[in-house]
Amino acid sequence: MKHMQLALLLAGALALPAHAAMDNMPGMGGGYEIGSQAHQDPAGQSFMAQGKINRVDAEAGTVNITHGPIQALHWPGMTMSFRVADKFLLKGLKAGDIVDFDLAKAPEGNYVISRIAQSK
């Protein structure tokens, strides 16, 4: 039994780089759930989620987050890199921070972070 658990754990770890290549692809992903709840706002234009920051690249305007499921998008919990609508949004954020964030659909069809703040 322990060998099977180890094999499953190893298989999951090996799959993470493949999931990272699917960044910002609606309906795709992997990673793990950290227990957030998400919902669509009344206007239907943005989606709220919660996650843990893994990396911030302020220069590129991106942040890598492990987030919980976003039910309105039919996304499971996963680890993804997102662009931010404005690089200023990343000011003061660092790896390890637990954050609440909003996703909005960009004209290109992918999702960008339109709001992000440390969870209270």
Q: Are strands 78-84 and 111-118 parallel, antiparallel or unpaired?
A: parallel
d(CA 108, CA 58) in angstroms, rounded, equals 21
- Count of structural domains within the chain: 1
Burial of 105 (0-12, 13-18, 19+ CB in 10 A): middle
| Stronger pLDDT, 38 or 82, i.e. the higher one | 82
∠109-111-112 over CA atoms, to 5°? 125
Token code pair at residue 14: 């090996």
- Distance of alpha carbon 99 from alpha carbon 91, whole angstroms: 13
Q: How far apart are CA 109 and CA 82, in angstroms?
A: 13
pLDDT in the model for residue 7: 43
**pLDDT for residue 107:** 86
pLDDT category at 31 given cuts 50, 70, 90 is very low
- Owning domain of residue 40: 2-118
Q: For residue range 64-86, list pLDDT tens digits in order.
A: 999 999 999 999 999 999 999 99
CATH of the domain at 35: 2.40.50.320
Report the run of H or E that residue 80 belongs to, with start and end: strand 78-84
Which residues are paired to 104 by β-bridges? Answer: 46, 112
State yes or no: pLDDT of 48 exceeds 70: yes
